Structure formats: C-alpha cells, structure tokens
Amino acid sequence: MSLWIDFWDRPNAIYADRRNLEAHFDRITRDLMPHLPAGGTVLDFGCGEALGAEAMARACGQLLLFDGAPSVRQKLTARLGGQPRIRVLDDAAFAAQPAGSVDLVVVVSVLQYIAKPDLAGLLARWRDLLAPGGRLMLADVVVTGTPMLRDVRSQLSFAARHGFLTAALAGIVRMALSDYRRIRQQVGFSTYTPEELTGVMERAGFAVERLPANIGPTPHRFTLVGRPA
C-alpha cells in the first residue's frame, strides 16, 4: 500500500479539474447523508480531500478524518482545523482511537488500494472501533472483471452531466500516461465480487448486507454494510 500512499501524497491527475473534484465529493456526501448517525461519531477512513466534511459533521456529532497521505492530512488540518466537530487523525491518533468509540466507519473508494492480505487486519481494527450497534460501510468497491471501457463510459457520463466533459477527456489521456497505471501494474489493484467481499467480512465477524445502490458516482460498483455479529 505504500506506493499508493506515495502516489496520493503528491500532485496527481485523478480528477480532471476542480469541477470534477467538487462533483465527486458532492455526490458521495449526498449519498452518505441518510446513513449518518445523528449525534454519533463517524470515521471517514481514506477520506481524501473530504470536501463534504463540514456538511457531514453537521449531520452527526463528531467526524473523524483519516488519510494515509501526510500531505492530504496537512491540507485537511489547514482547512478544517478550527471546526469543533471535526478531527483530522494522523497515524498515531488513528492507532490510539479507543475501542468502541465510533458509530459508523465509512471507507469509500479505498479498498482497491489495499492489498487483499492486509484487509483482514483492517477489518479487525474497524470492528474494534465500533460501538455497540455500530456499522462499517465499504463503499464504491470495484467489481472483479469490470471492463475498463465500462468505467470510462461511466466517467464520461458523469462528466457530461456536471459540465466537465472536455476536461474529463483530457484527463483520461493524462491518466494513461501517469504513474497511476504503472503503480497499478506493479503492486496490483484489489477487486472483489459482492459474494467474495461478503465472505471476507463475515469471517472477520460481521453480519453483512448490500445496499440497493452504490455510494458514489459509479453505479456499477457496490456498497456493503457490516454490523458486528
């Protein structure tokens, strides 16, 4: 995972432009809102830019943001450091977060960057963090065997609806020439069928259900919610 963290720790071409970034996080935030526990504590693991953090924090009691890339955490702290309901966690703070202190853990579009052998340890940590009745949401999971053309069509459709189609077309070319493709070939890209990931979560001690619709802008991906069994 360290190569992926290094990738996210420096400027990259994942988002075509600012409009793409804002539309992406707006969609994720709107999709998450019905699932946020009023008055509860939410951990957004692998949160990235977290442009919806303030809206999410208003909907719950406290929002914890964690990202593995130090530069991302620095930007989050600079932008959100004065918000009383938001805490940005570094590695040490995430490790020190008390057991049973979180009502919802959300992990959106992150599993593809986690090596499959490492997932069991993270599931155990997330389960430990959950309060009684807490939930783990693994969202925007890439389905094994998805043709690249389907992803491209989905991206361009989203771009057309939100007014950045030209930038998206240029962004696809930049991505093809970027480190993203090299790192994906070098260290891999973790994908799952819903049945496979359900089995992994059940072996980690979760009762699992699949949401009817994915969280995020890619409808052919999927979201699972787990409760400690």
Task: Delimit the domains of the chain by residue range.
Answer: 2-228
- Lowest-confidence pick of 100-109, 131-140, 180-189, 211-220: 180-189
Phi-psi region of 190 (alpha: psi -120 to 50; beta: other; left: phi over 0): beta
Residues 6 or more apart whose Cβ sits within 8 Å of residue 89: 64, 65, 66, 73, 97
Q: What is the maximum span of the chain, computed from C-alpha positions, in angstroms? A: 47
Which amino acid, one-letter code, is at 142? V
**Residue 177 scores a pLDDT above 70:** no
3 state DSSP class of 116:
helix
3 state DSSP class of 137:
strand
Determine the pLDDT at residue 55: 97
Q: Are 131 and 100 in contact (CB under 8 A)?
A: yes
**Residue 183 scores a pLDDT above 80:** no
Determine the pLDDT at residue 1: 61
Extract the tokens encoding 68.
């593995």
The string over 88-101, giving b where at least 16 C-beta atoms fall within 10 Å of a residue's C-beta and e elsewhere, is bbeeeebeebeeee
Give rounded-to-5 percent helix, strand, coil for the chain: 50, 20, 30
Q: Are 121 and 94 in contact (CB under 8 A)?
A: no
Per cent of the chain over pLDDT 90 is 70
User: What are 137-162's pLDDT values in tens digits?
Assistant: 999 999 999 887 788 788 888 878 88
User: What are 37-51's pLDDT values in tens digits?
Assistant: 999 999 999 999 999
| Superfamily of chain region 2-228 | Vaccinia Virus protein VP39 (3.40.50.150)
pLDDT confidence of 6, banded at 50, 70, 90? Answer: confident
pTM for the whole structure: 0.93
Share the mean pLDDT of the chain: 92
d(CA 40, CA 42): 7
Determine the pLDDT at residue 78: 96
Task: Pick 94 or 167 by higher pLDDT.
Answer: 94
Could you tell me which of 141, 174, 177, 186 has the C-alpha nearest to residue 6?
Answer: 186
User: What are 69-99's pLDDT values in tens digits?
Assistant: 999 999 999 999 889 999 999 999 999 999 9
Could you tell me which of 218, 169, 174 has the C-alpha nearest to residue 23?
Answer: 218
Determine the pLDDT at residue 159: 79
Give the E-state strand segments of the chain in sequence order: 41-45, 62-66, 86-89, 102-108, 130-141, 206-210, 222-228
Extract the tokens encoding 171.
């962004």
Q: Are 228 and 205 in contact (CB under 8 A)?
A: yes
- The angle formed by the CA atoms of residues 96, 98 and 99, to the nearest 5 degrees, is 125
Could you tell me which of 145, 98, 122 has the C-alpha nearest to residue 206?
Answer: 122
